[in-house]
Chains A and B, each alone.
Chain A
């Protein structure tokens, strides 16, 4: 088969950083080509070069698409040739309908007047092709993330796509939606559409990819061909991190002590629909030095539970008791929850965790400014020492602590959020999807940090949608479904099958 795309010797530098160094990538016509690498390895930069976000002249090297050298001056140029990129953060307008979104910028119009019946008819065709059963005039905001993803793909199809680039398409999808999406990619492949799939989920990659290009530190490490023989996940990881990762979860001797934290009969209702109970009578406990997981599907109510607990930042009509060391504590506002020893690392670090335009140092001390100030006056020297300390302890990769959070990779951003909460010195740390969208190496580091905290006698509540992560990390796992706890397993008895069974059974009731 011939190559539809060849990128040769791409080098792109930012002031002070060599983001891409002589990277090559060849995608054959009609294949699914996976692009993997740790965060910061240069995957996104490479795709931005390809799609024209970084126009010709700002990089060196050549892009050959369909046998001709191309010099894109912007996204419009690459889209015209059928190179379409779907970003991790979806680019849809929430308050417009599916049809309006699909034809945004490409309206079915003559002389500026839109032919709505044509637009709707074409939308229906496209939705059928991606297997989305929704009316074209449904507002995008009313769709779940999985369906929004499909709308993006339908939009790509409407532009006569030849090469579809998906950046972490399944990062926020549950297993069922992810599988459907991957099936769709295979279907496109049968129709002759090539795709580049960027993902951290290696099991998915080994399922669908025909070849895998591994990037590391801005260079191509290798391209693996999966057509002749399957490539194992361990093999990919070795390429990504440059070493074999013996175990994806660091070993830990667990020293579980007495119960230090418990929640009794916790309930919360939907913030808008006051009669919808989102958290149903949840009771749980955490022991000293214990890592406790909460498993569940997307929308099971885990984040809602955690946020209603943490300063009532979610929901209304909240009731229940929270006890720390046997005494009831007040968690009615975030500052009181923090003062009483609770910390919550949010699911979405960019929206809820970081002040992106501020430097690392200011993010680290934000939740506990009292720790670096006297009589409301901040001691900047002390603050700096604190930030430098966490930077080296958590191995945050940055030029210095004055680098703005927005310029850090996902794993390093998460470490900054963790630093912030570690500095607040909580007794109980609630982690909500702490490794989402983070590469394998950084995940390992985060796990190590969490283990060290447990070792130091903290109680950890780990919310995760990745079951291997829960099984690899936790001493005990609660299972949540539809807002209620429906099962509890010790590390020894827990398995992926048992947890899924518990969820399925409770759903049938």
Chain B
């Protein structure tokens, strides 16, 4: 999922494995810890974790966290925080329910209205943070209370549902198989292979291009290892899904968004400017970057993504409940920090946030399978967050 260049260019010495490992410890360490955690739960759950049914559930359960983590990463990189996303999820879910169930609005205009309202919420909070210069912690803490309250009042304290089946497809639907009838979903498998091939091709092309321009690249062994691992994971993942019901719609949405945001942060001017803004706001401003507008936009973006997550979550439960969204902001923020984002701004990667979200997700899922109570689950998750960030800080100080 990494678009390649940024990750590989920053190498101290050409073809030095030790030196490369040192400088990229964080990038690969994260991925390896996720794999280790998955392997651990695969063993202790007696193979349940990677069963096709469970894997599909894992994706469905974590999609909204991943989607919000994309927006949160930008907010955190720009030097802010958004505590209101959980409440927005609940509020938008409630709004969608009221529109569809009480007013019988069709699901397409409902989705559009909800995304728009999410954007407006982000814009209001963003305006307060960017232009009125009220600390984001305060603004979004207020937003958290306000939208939680609006969610309750909208739903009248009751669950509202069920939704039209077409809307539920957003979350529980699967991409239809073009070659119907087989034991394996051919569409899912071939899409998985195609995406893998595209990623390997892009990575290879970037590498060749870099070498042509005498840019120092990762040692070839690493390159080979990284992409072999990537290929095994992606193809294996799509194979497992293919043996169940294929690709969930939500996985496709999520994958497209992750690719988009990875590209935006790594390769576009707006992404670059967000990093500069978070790294040194004054210098960014004096370099001609419209820092206020950029901050404002990161919050608008966050609002839209939180609204999307709200829709997906509501569709998954097939009802809007007064408790929906409760505490989601903590998982989302934790995902970003586990993924290596800096609390001081200016540092963080999309791939890191996604991996962070899956670390949380696999642990949630694995511990639930093992029947560990919600009490100890929280303790363990908290400790993992602390350990990941401590490692980060320690690693940086060296």
Chain A neighbourhood of B282, CB < 8 A: 351-352
Give the distance in Å from the alpha carbon of A370 to the alpha carbon of B287 in the complex: 13
Report yes or no: B215 in contact with A384, Cβ–Cβ below 8 A. Answer: yes
> Is B284's beta carbon under 8 Å from chain A?
yes
Within 8 Å of chain A (Cβ to Cβ): is B290? yes
Bitwise interface map of B from 266 to 284 toward A, beta carbon under 8 Å scored 1, else 0: 0111101101100110111
- Whether the pair B276, A358 counts as a contact (CB closer than 8 A) is yes
Residues from chain A with Cβ under 8 Å of B280 in the complex: 351, 354-356
Residue of B whose beta carbon sits closest to that of A369? B269
B279 near A357: Cβ-Cβ < 8 Å: yes
Number of A-B contacts (CB under 8 A): 94
Q: Judging by beta carbons under 8 Å apart, are A355 and B215 in contact?
A: no
Query: Are B283 and A352 in contact (CB-based, < 8 A)?
Result: yes
**B333: min CB distance to chain A, Å:** 21
Are B272 and A380 touching (Cβ within 8 A)? no
Q: Which of A352, A358, A378 contacts B268 (CB 8 A)?
A: A378
Whether A335 sits at the interface, judged by CB under 8 Å, is yes
Which residues of A have CB within 8 Å of B6?
380
- Enumerate chain A residues within 8 angstroms of B270, measured Cβ to Cβ: 376
Bound together, the chains give a CA A424 to CA B287 distance in angstroms of 10
Residues in A whose Cβ lies below 8 Å from that of B210: 381
From B11, which residue of chain A is reached at the shortest CB distance?
A402
Q: Does B347 contact A (CB under 8 A)?
A: yes
Contact A380/B5 with A357-B279, A366-B276, A402-B10 known, Cβ cut-off 8 Å: yes
A41 and B210 CA atoms in complex are apart in Å by 34
A113 near B: Cβ within 8 Å? no
Give the distance in Å from the alpha carbon of A219 to the alpha carbon of B88 in the complex. Answer: 61
CB-based contact B290/A355 at 8 Å: no
CA gap between A365 and B309 in the complex, in Å: 36
Beyond A354-B283, A355-B346, is A377–B9 a contact (Cβ under 8 Å)?
no
Q: Are A355 and B276 in contact (CB under 8 A)?
A: yes
Cβ B287 vs Cβ A381 within 8 A? no
Q: Specify which of A355, A362, A378, A384 is in contact with B213 (CB 8 Å cutoff).
A: A384
Question: Cβ of B236 < 8 Å from any Cβ of A?
Answer: no
* Minimal Cβ-Cβ distance residue in A for B280: A355
Give A361-392 interface residues, CB cut-off 8 Å to B: 362, 366-367, 369-370, 373, 376-378, 380-381, 384-385
Determine the distance from Cα of A369 to Cα of B285 in the docked complex, in whole angstroms.
14
A419 beta carbon closer than 8 Å to chain B: no
Q: Does B12 contact A (CB under 8 A)?
A: yes
Residues of B104-146 at the interface with A, using a CB-CB cut-off of 8 Å, are: none
A338: Cβ under 8 A from any B Cβ: yes
A495 to B268, CA, bound (A): 51
Q: Mark A333-360, 1 if CB is under 8 A from B, else 0.
A: 1110111000010100001111111110
Q: How far is the CA of A420 from the CA of B12 in the complex (A)?
A: 23
On whether the beta carbons of B287 and A357 are closer than 8 Å, the reply is no
A334 contacts B285, C-beta separation under 8 Å: yes
Chain B contact-residue range equals 20 to 34
Chain B residues in 8 Å Cβ range of A337? 288
The residue in chain A whose Cβ has the minimal distance to the Cβ of B277 is: A355
Query: B190 an interface residue at 8 Å Cβ cutoff?
Result: no
B286 within 8 A of A: yes
Q: Please tell me if the beta carbons of B346 and A346 are within 8 angstroms of each other in the complex.
A: no
Asked if B209 and A381 sit within 8 Å, CB to CB, the answer is yes
Residues of B within 8 A of A420 (CB): 287
Say whether A17 faces chain B, with CB atoms less than 8 Å apart: no
Q: Mark B281-324, 1 if CB is under 8 A from A, else 0.
A: 01111111110000000000000000000000000000000000
Taking the closest CB of chain B, its distance from the CB of A390, in whole angstroms, is 15
Hey, which chain B residues are within 8 Å of A402, CB to CB?
Answer: 9-11
Q: A355 to B267, Cβ gap below 8 A?
A: no
State the Cβ distance, A444 to closest chain B Cβ, in Å: 26
Known: A352-B283, A352-B286. A370 touches B275 (CB 8 A): no
Do residues A380 and B279 form an inter-chain contact, with CB atoms below 8 A? Answer: no
A334 to B268, CA, bound (A): 21
- The reply to whether A355 and B283 form a contact with Cβ atoms under 8 Å apart is yes
Q: Check A376–B288 contact: CB distance below 8 A.
A: no
Asked if residues B346 and A378 are in contact (CB atoms below 8 Å), the reply is no
- A362-B272, A402-B9, A420-B287 in contact; A356/B279 too (CB < 8 A)? yes
Closest residue to B10 on the A side, CB-wise?
A402
Interface CB pairs A-B, < 8 A, 23: A16-B12, A311-B288, A335-B288, A337-B288, A339-B288, A346-B286, A352-B286, A355-B275, A355-B280, A355-B283, A355-B284, A358-B275, A358-B276, A359-B10, A362-B272, A362-B275, A366-B276, A366-B287, A378-B268, A380-B6, A380-B9, A381-B210, A400-B216
List 20 additional A-B contacts (Cβ < 8 Å) besides A311-B286, A377-B269, A380-B9: A16-B12, A310-B286, A333-B288, A334-B286, A355-B275, A355-B276, A355-B283, A359-B10, A366-B276, A366-B283, A366-B287, A369-B272, A373-B268, A376-B269, A377-B268, A381-B209, A381-B215, A385-B213, A402-B10, A402-B11
Q: Which 5 A-B pairs have the closest CB atoms?
A: A355-B279, A335-B288, A367-B287, A369-B269, A334-B288
